[in-house]
Amino acid sequence: MGPDHPDVAASLNSLAGLYRAQAKYADAEPLYQRSLAIREKALGPDHPEVAASLNNLGELYRFQGKYAEAEPFYQRSLVIREKALGADHRDVATTLSDLAELYRAQGRYAEAEPLYQRSLTIREKALGPDHADVADSLNNLAALYDVQGKYAEAEPFLKRSLAIREKALGPDHLDVAASLNNLAELYRAEAKYAEAEPLDQRALAIREKTLGPDHPNVARSLNNLAALYDVQGKYAQAEPLYKRSLAIEEKALGPDHPDVGRSLNNLAMLYSAQGRYADAESLYQRALAIREKTLEPDHPDLAQTLENYAALLRKTNRPDAAAPLEARARAVRAKHAAENPQQ
């Protein structure tokens, strides 16, 4: 076939997908890029297979926290797919969902919601109400409502997503773990701790068994279970989970990934609650630097770290240092509220 045949591009794409699933992002990127180049040359810039390569690169960059790099790949993929396949094709729904995930990660909730809703509508119409892709849309839309505190809207979507996935994919599938994880987060936010814990534990067990102990998704489950113990004041149980989550993320994702910033912030909160202010301060400083670098300037997580760090400074009798952080946090939240009026 030669090195520039579309079937070679398909194989490169598949191998890159394997590496992406294993969090081997540096190995995946050149394969995705080469696949894209072959397809553009052999098939033309507006072919659906080109859109697939663009979408995959967008996913790769999103997983690495490279949000600004991911967005144009998703947007171009969406334009191609809508033009070539029609507005109601399931591949259009995939790109809509992925772009919405990017916006949710950036705190751009008002932009994410209509994309999630449109993706869900397409999938229900094209695939039926009990398809695994429908469960994906339900889960993602629920996660958006959850992060906005709209728990009553989120819960039925999460429960329906979980039921579909368990039936369609089996009880030990990674997508089942994602639904368990999100439902547990909802229950934690509602202080239903006894209901949340077995869900978090089951999600962690599935991910460790399927992905191995050092995968970023395992780190996310560890972080969620730690947060559950933390909010209950079970600090001795929470601390080793936070630390293990942080170590996995730093190794797999690099020291400046948004997930690393989240873990640093959470561990700092734990130390602050225990009165370990010196330990907490260095973590808050690092978390703030990461979040300032990787997140949108109006992202709620940035405001959270500013507020947490300011609270620590006040506890240690440094109100003059706390005041500018508090002012910045108020500005961040005001800007976010203005851009997300429905929240």
Distance CA 85, CA 82 (A): 6
- What's 127's DSSP letter? H
User: What's 295's DSSP letter?
Assistant: S
Q: Are 25 and 63 in contact (CB under 8 A)?
A: yes
Overall average pLDDT of the 222-228 stretch: 97
Cβ-contact 107, 339 below 8 angstroms: no
* Average of per-residue pLDDT across 61-80: 96
CB atoms within 10 A of CB 292: 15
pLDDT surpasses 70 at 129: yes
Rounded Cα gap, residues 130 and 116, in angstroms: 17
CB 300 within 8 A of CB 339: no
129 — phi, psi (to 5°)? -75, -15
CA-to-CA distance for 200 and 74, rounded, in angstroms? 31
Query: How many Å apart are CA 285 and CA 279, to the nearest integer?
Result: 11
- Residue 339: what pLDDT? 81
- By three-state DSSP, how is residue 47 classified? coil
pLDDT tens digits, one per residue of 257-298 = 999 999 999 999 999 999 999 999 999 999 999 999 999 899
Question: Which residue, 338, 337, 306, 302, is CA-closest to 148?
Answer: 337
How far is 296 from 250, CA to CA, in rounded Å? 21
Kindly provide the b/e burial profile for residues 79-97, where b requires at least 16 CB atoms within 10 angstroms of the residue's own CB. ebbbebeeeebbbbbbbbb
Task: Report the alpha-carbon distance of residue 175 to residue 173 in Å, rounded.
Answer: 5
- pLDDT tens per residue across span 160-210: 999 999 999 999 999 999 999 999 999 999 999 999 999 999 999 999 999
Q: What is the pLDDT of residues 274-283, one digit of tens each?
A: 999 999 999 9
